[in-house]
Amino acid sequence: MTTSTAFEQPPGLARRVLCVGAAVMDTLFRVRSLPTGQGKILPYDMLQIAEGMASSAAFAVARLGGHASLWGAVGNDATGDRIIADLSESGIDTSGMLRVEGARSAISTILVDDQGERLIVPFYDAGLHETVKPVTAEDISSFDAVLVDVRWPKVALRTLLGAREAGKPAILDGDVASDGVIEMLAPAASHIVFSQPAAERLSGAAELVKVVGLLKRKFEHAFISVTAGENGCFWFDALTGEVFHLAAPKVRAVDTLAAGDIFHGAFALATAEGMPIEETMRFASMAAALKCQVFGGRTGAPNRAEVGDALRDWDVGVSRSALLPL
């Protein structure tokens, strides 16, 4: 068991994390159950909030005591104004956001049921992420880590390459993406944290220990992890050649929306702080689990003290599995 002091914020200036990717205006509706066919469904709660993978991860960084910057693209429209204002008011540096003429800002409608599961209907304008801004190692030099998602792949690739050249952790949120996107980004990443659906799709397997092994073989240069929701997280340990598994904290899930993004943000900040990998996975897992107890997407992200208090009472051990020949 690791003491909670291992998760305290290090002394000195807050670590700086750059997040690159999705910025979306979400409309969340809370319903008793998700629809199974046509008809009308009446929600009993709702919230409109700017989020998205990179945006929610940046919010997690800020909530956990880091300095979060976001590079994302929005349209030159009223929705874009709202997205940037909302994220700025949430403590995220949005000075690097791009306004795209002739493109509409991303929006989505999301239903969240009483079991915490969700149905997401997103819309991304085809022209929103076509712009490629230049990114150099010098642009990355002031950050302690970068985290990119798969929504703005051309800029994500340049950011990862710039981070690697600058000697900074280059972290990829390996979520489900268009064909070829992960294959394009992964070679430039130093760390890849896959979602379970993306990992299974890319590896062609379903047993998660095997999935991790296959992905490590495919991307030998990188740290490989897979997040599996209530089934916890898995990662390849380079020292032992084994796959480690950490069970998820037991919580009553109210809203799982943005839980994976909170995991990624916490992972990126802990990596920027130099936290050992097992503690990093515990830290990120608890941050994601605590988020699931609160309706409202990214707004449920916990602060540093809340994560530390919860970790003090969590003594789940890590299991190891030796890889069979693949």
Average pLDDT for residues 279-303, to the nearest whole number?
A: 97
Please report the pLDDT score of residue 323 as a whole number: 66
List the structure tokens of 90: 């949430």
Please report the pLDDT score of residue 209 as a whole number: 96
Which of 71-85, 136-150, 311-325 shows the lowest per-residue confidence on average (mean pLDDT)?
311-325
Cβ(258)–Cβ(287) below 8 Å: no
Percent of the chain with pLDDT over 70: 97
What is the per-residue pLDDT across 16-29, written as a single tens digit (0 to 9) for each? 999 999 999 999 99
List the structure tokens of 262: 């909170």
Residue 194: CB atoms within 10 A of its CB come to 29
Please report the pLDDT score of residue 154 as a whole number: 95
Strand partners, 18: 69, 146
Separation in Å, CA 178 to CA 183, 201, 222, 263:
10, 11, 21, 22
Cα separation, 307 vs 99, whole angstroms = 35
Cα separation, 281 vs 245, whole angstroms = 10
Please report the pLDDT score of residue 4 as a whole number: 56
Parallel, antiparallel, or unpaired: how do β-strands 145-148 and 16-20 relate? Answer: parallel
Cα separation, 183 vs 309, whole angstroms = 39
3-class DSSP assignment, residue 141 = coil
Contacts (Cβ under 8 Å, ≥6 apart) of 131? 73, 98, 100
Q: Cα-flanking dihedrals φ and ψ of residue 262, to 5°?
A: -65, -40
Cα separation, 179 vs 269, whole angstroms = 29
Cα separation, 5 vs 30, whole angstroms = 37
Confidence grade of residue 7 (pLDDT, cut at 50, 70, 90): confident
Average pLDDT, the chain: 95
Cβ(283)–Cβ(235) below 8 Å: no
Burial tier of 83 (Cβ tally within 10 Å: 0-12, 13-18, 19+): buried
Q: Cα-flanking dihedrals φ and ψ of residue 270, to 5°?
A: -60, -40
Cβ(68)–Cβ(91) below 8 Å: yes
| Whether the predicted pLDDT of 325 surpasses 70 | no
Cβ(270)–Cβ(284) below 8 Å: yes
